[in-house]
Amino acid sequence: MTTAPASSLELVPPLGKPDQLRRQELGAFLRSRRERISPEQVGLPSIGRRRTPGLRREEVAQLAAVGVTWYTWLEQARDIQVSTQVLDAIARGLLLDQVERQHLFALAGVPDPTGGPKSCPVVTPPVRAVLDQLSPMPAVVLNARFDIIGHNDVYSRLLGGLERYDAEQRNILWLAFTEPSWRELLVDWETAARGMTAKFRVALAEHVAEPKYKSLLKRLLLASPEFAEAWEHHDVTGTSEGTKRFLNSEVGLLNFEYTNLWLGPRPGYRMTTYVPADPVTRARMEQLAAMGQ
């Protein structure tokens, strides 16, 4: 098995140190954001030769109205106090979007005034009934870690049969990066894989104390150099609606529009449903559903 670069593995500190992990992630995230912004984008003059791209630490400190030493300590993962007002100023100075802002607050361990608590329901009998009645439309219940919590039969057949995987393998992120057949199954594999990585980074910030999240991250970094490369970009994104294409070995190419139905007040546990985007896909899904009868 090919192992990930040492720099990637260093992102996973020993279990049992969630506060240190959060601070390290915060520092790395801040560095990645400032390196993507030019002084001109935030109204600062570009003075002198720059050895690295983006803003300097002192420029971010100026934008956030904090001391350079204090901001440097923040990026160095020092154990310092961070206020809501300072985080808000940093978010504005680094031109963070809403998802990036929420990620920043989660990593800092400071409640975001715009957010609220999440609930973590399970697949209740009513949810199970909805999954079954959606057939021949595929549907699955996932948690923020991309574990498959529940699904209907046609979703399993769409993915080539989930019963062939052990329970600990039934994780969409894990399968996308480690299961060779998924490179063909997910027609736009690179886009889908990087998108899931960015969503998982957001989830990890809010579940940093949970060993299962850190364990999955370590397993992925060890198993997939491609995941390690994507992880080091520090991209974050929200979960939204979109389109997805699958190449099923039984019926061929399938085009879907997918949407997420949240099973709580904020993103976390969700039911993802796949609606055929064209008549050919609809007919092929009916054919695929009939195969299991």
The predicted structure's pLDDT at residue 238 = 80
Closest CA to 173 of 189, 184, 161, 151: 189
What CA–CA distance (Å, rounded) separates 146 from 117?
19
The predicted structure's pLDDT at residue 243 = 93
The predicted structure's pLDDT at residue 168 = 82
Q: What angle do CA 234, 193, 258 make, to 5 degrees?
A: 115
pTM of the model as a whole: 0.71
What CA–CA distance (Å, rounded) separates 87 from 82?
7
Give the bridge partners for 147, in sequence order: 171
CA–centroid distance for 169 within its chain: 18
Instruction: Look up residue 140 and give its two tokens.
Output: 């699955």
Non-local CB neighbours of 232 within 8 Å, separated by 6+ positions = 7, 8, 11
The predicted structure's pLDDT at residue 115 = 57
The predicted structure's pLDDT at residue 90 = 92
The predicted structure's pLDDT at residue 208 = 78
The predicted structure's pLDDT at residue 16 = 45
Strand duo 139-142 + 148-151: pairing:
antiparallel
The predicted structure's pLDDT at residue 268 = 74
Judged by DSSP in three states, 261 sits in: strand
One digit per residue, the tens of pLDDT, for the chain of length 293 reads 445 554 454 445 444 477 888 889 999 999 999 988 888 888 887 776 777 778 889 989 998 889 999 999 999 989 888 888 889 889 988 988 888 888 999 898 888 776 544 444 568 889 999 999 999 999 999 998 999 999 999 999 999 999 999 888 999 999 999 999 999 999 999 999 999 999 999 998 888 777 788 889 999 999 999 999 999 999 998 877 899 999 999 999 999 999 999 887 555 789 999 999 999 999 999 999 998 66
